Chain A
Amino acid sequence: MGLRVLAAMSGGVDSAVAAARIAEAGHDVTGVHLALSANPQSHRTGARGCCTIEDSRDARRAADVIGIPFYIWDMAERFQRDVVEDFVAEYAAGRTPNPCLRCNEKIKFEAVLDRALALGFDAVATGHHARLTDGVLSRSVDQGKDQSYVLGVLTRQQLSHAIFPLGDSTKAEVREEAARRGLTVADKPDSHDICFIADGDTRGFLAKRLGQEPGSIVDQEGEVVGSHHGAYAFTIGQRKGLHIDRPTADGRPRYVLSIEPVSNTVTVGPREALQVTEITCVRPVWNGPEATGELSVQLRAHGEVYGCRFETRDGEVVITLDQPATGVAAGQAAVLYSGDTVIGSATIATAA
């Protein structure tokens, strides 16, 4: 007897093929589309990958082709509270959140998983590109599409009820398989951007939520070199859109070095000042095997990977990089790997 599996189906090609694979493997699969927006738009605009009525229809159509029951779960309230509000609050606090990661942590593998287990399911399957072997998470064979980073925050307990059927396939193989299976989403474009910001204008979205709050842009010596309409609109390492009239003495570009929400101050400086080698992280999650061999850390989604070593101090994790990194933003996750295997993760607090 197979497992009772809830397949989360966004309406995209990955989750459709994931559901088809586990159904074919003999498990008892039920497809569920998560309605995350209280007022969904009827059609996709731009590159959003979920949340529209068209997407929920695509998911239903795929479930019908696979031949599994299909339901829609209304997760709009939880999503608003745990992902959207958190996103706004993090920016307001001068940090740079990753909402996809938060959605995996709080919605797919908390709210949905809890409800699924209560209703008698054994596991939740998604179309993420990552491998999961005996509860151990590692990178997809498709390095370009690997999503182990946004899953690195899940606990052992959460991973023990997760199934990622696509980790051994490339995206191209998944699309080919979808076409072979008669799934009409085979050539649906990849989603990117943030699903709850319809037009992709994150600054505009934040401005609407947080209002305008004029403040100063200062250099490393504290001298005012410009002004802004709200510190939340900036990200560490940002170079464009600073709107500073005065050039630097040596003519070199300025980058955002730090964001101070209380005094509403943005500090800028030369690129070298962005370089950090020591990163202090909080709220560690140890979900993988003991750290052995060559260790590395990834500091943002699709970001570079740095060789490193780390130690834990009073519940904090201090990571020392082999090479300096730039643009390391508080609020992002640092996911630690041993080779391709995830050891654990923690949230970046400060970097120097």
Chain B
Amino acid sequence: MLPEAIEAMTQQLGRVGNASSLHAAGRQARRVVEESREAIADALGARPSEVVFTAGGTEADNLAIKGLYWAREPRRRILISAIEHHGALDPARWLADRQGAEVELLEVDSHGRVHPDTLRAAIERDPESVALVSVMWANNEVGTVQPIRVLASIARDHGIPFHTDAVQAVGVLPVSFADSGAQALTLSGHKVGGPMGVGALLLERGVTPVSVLHGGGQERDVRSGTLDAPAIAGLAAAVEAAAKGQQAQAIRLSALRDDLIRRVRQAVPDVILNGDPVDRLPGNAHFSFPGCEGDALLMLLDAKGVECSTGSACSAGVAQPSHVLLAMGAPAAAARGSLRFTLGHTSTQDDVDRLIEVLPAAVERARRAGLS
């Protein structure tokens, strides 16, 4: 967590008060929540009334996708990119399995980009039947940044609500809700250096999804549950700090990442860089190492003090070929031999040097162990 976020959150932890109560302590909590709402709105180009607090990114995605689908019934089609995070993909699939939705996965190119033509063609097949469109701002695995403004405007032309999961983008890329043209935008606390278990859905005024959680209706009657004032204060402090430092951080991380990519390519000449070579998250470098299993390479690097990640694991913890890479057309073997290196605000040149020092031997060893 960013120091600013820890400070803001811990200041609140000792205080009592429910932001919905009318007594003095309640009013105090309410003030913290509302100031946080204003700060987040200000940092992200939104109005305060457009900020709906949730218990994290997954809840915000669920509210946007299920809620907008239900609000737009009897329209049945959900257009969603094939490379979404499970937080967005799984609610859509659940709607298909249980609620009669027709989920159409929008294809991506080999860099993981959704082409505006792809979305336009999908909508124009039958614009009246589309309940919503959801495309993430930037991909969590391969780092590809989507042409959100263009995509959102295509949906808007047809009067279709557009949701974007911007969990990876907020604080890392310049994000303005108003400029994006999206009707709903997901953000999450821990990805911006704030606390875990808190997030928000930015919702354009007049857009009203059906609730997923029912109860006191604390947030615009769309989301119920007592607000977690300390976490919200931490979230706001993190969003503010990240947005303020975003440009400088992006310049620093992009330079570090470009150095990492160049030197990994030198060290392992047949390595494949995944994702868009230009429009990618500043701190993201994602590779396929031919002939290696990602898991084995991760274990060898971890033993040398380098922490990285493979795509995703199933519930039993078995590495699965990433649905993102498969959607980008990578063969299953290449998908299994993939690793992501993420640079953040604590990453330094030393970290990159250390990786380059231990990588060649680890790759050689992982190749000997082969793809089992």
Q: Which residues of A are in contact with B by a Cβ distance under 8 Å?
A: 30, 33, 35, 40, 42, 53, 56, 60, 69, 71-76, 78, 111, 115, 118-120
Question: Which of A72, A76, A118 meets B365, CB within 8 Å?
Answer: A118
Please measure, in the bound complex, the distance between the C-alpha atom of A120 and the C-alpha atom of B361, giving whole angstroms. 11
Please measure, in the bound complex, the distance between the C-alpha atom of A56 and the C-alpha atom of B315, giving whole angstroms. 10
- Number of B residues contacting the other chain (C-beta, 8 Å)? 18
On whether the beta carbons of B318 and A119 are closer than 8 Å, the reply is no
Report the minimal beta-carbon distance from A44 to chain B, rounded to whole angstroms: 13
The chain B residue sitting closest to A32, CB to CB, is B299
Please measure, in the bound complex, the distance between the C-alpha atom of A69 and the C-alpha atom of B319, giving whole angstroms. 16
Known: A30-B299, A71-B295, A119-B296. A111 touches B316 (CB 8 A): no
On whether the beta carbons of A69 and B303 are closer than 8 Å, the reply is yes
The chain B residue sitting closest to A77, CB to CB, is B372
Report the minimal beta-carbon distance from A192 to chain B, rounded to whole angstroms: 22
B301-335 interface (Cβ within 8 A of A): 302-303, 313, 315-319
Report the minimal beta-carbon distance from A202 to chain B, rounded to whole angstroms: 24
The interface centre, meaning the residue of A60, A69, A119 with most chain B CB atoms within 10 A of its CB, is A119
- Is B366 an interface position by the 8 A CB rule? yes
Known: A69-B303, A119-B299, A119-B300. A78 touches B318 (CB 8 A): no
- Is B216 an interface position by the 8 A CB rule? no
Report the minimal beta-carbon distance from B308 to chain A, rounded to whole angstroms: 14
A-B pairs with beta carbons under 8 Å apart, 30 shown: A30-B299, A30-B303, A33-B317, A35-B316, A35-B317, A56-B317, A69-B302, A69-B303, A71-B295, A71-B299, A72-B313, A72-B318, A73-B295, A75-B372, A76-B318, A78-B372, A111-B372, A115-B296, A115-B370, A115-B372, A118-B368, A118-B369, A118-B370, A119-B299, A119-B300, A119-B365, A119-B366, A119-B368, A120-B300, A120-B365
Q: Which residues of B are in contact with A by a Cβ distance under 8 Å?
A: 295-296, 299-300, 302-303, 313, 315-319, 365-366, 368-370, 372
Contacts of B295 in A (CB 8 A): 71, 73
Please measure, in the bound complex, the distance between the C-alpha atom of A75 and the C-alpha atom of B371, giving whole angstroms. 11
On whether the beta carbons of B366 and A74 are closer than 8 Å, the reply is no
Q: Say what secondary structure dominates the interface of chain A.
A: mixed
The chain A residue sitting closest to B366, CB to CB, is A119
Report the minimal beta-carbon distance from B274 to chain A, rounded to whole angstroms: 22
On whether the beta carbons of B369 and A115 are closer than 8 Å, the reply is yes
Report the minimal beta-carbon distance from B298 to chain A, rounded to whole angstroms: 8
Contacts of A60 in B (CB 8 A): 317
Contacts of A72 in B (CB 8 A): 313, 316-319
The chain B residue sitting closest to A117, CB to CB, is B369
Report the minimal beta-carbon distance from A145 to chain B, rounded to whole angstroms: 28
Please measure, in the bound complex, the distance between the C-alpha atom of A69 and the C-alpha atom of B365, giving whole angstroms. 19
Contacts of A56 in B (CB 8 A): 316-317
Contacts of B370 in A (CB 8 A): 115, 118
On whether the beta carbons of B369 and A53 are closer than 8 Å, the reply is no
The chain B residue sitting closest to A57, CB to CB, is B317
Please measure, in the bound complex, the distance between the C-alpha atom of A33 and the C-alpha atom of B317, giving whole angstroms. 9
Please measure, in the bound complex, the distance between the C-alpha atom of A232 and the C-alpha atom of B227, giving whole angstroms. 64
Contacts of A35 in B (CB 8 A): 316-318
9 nearest A-B pairs in the assembled complex, by CB-CB distance: A118-B369, A72-B317, A74-B318, A118-B368, A35-B318, A40-B316, A53-B316, A119-B369, A115-B369
Contacts of A53 in B (CB 8 A): 315-317
Report the minimal beta-carbon distance from A252 to chain B, rounded to whole angstroms: 51
Contacts of B300 in A (CB 8 A): 119-120
Report the minimal beta-carbon distance from B254 to chain A, rounded to whole angstroms: 32
Please measure, in the bound complex, the distance between the C-alpha atom of A33 and the C-alpha atom of B295, giving whole angstroms. 13
Report the minimal beta-carbon distance from A177 to chain B, rounded to whole angstroms: 26
Contacts of A73 in B (CB 8 A): 295, 372
Contacts of B366 in A (CB 8 A): 119
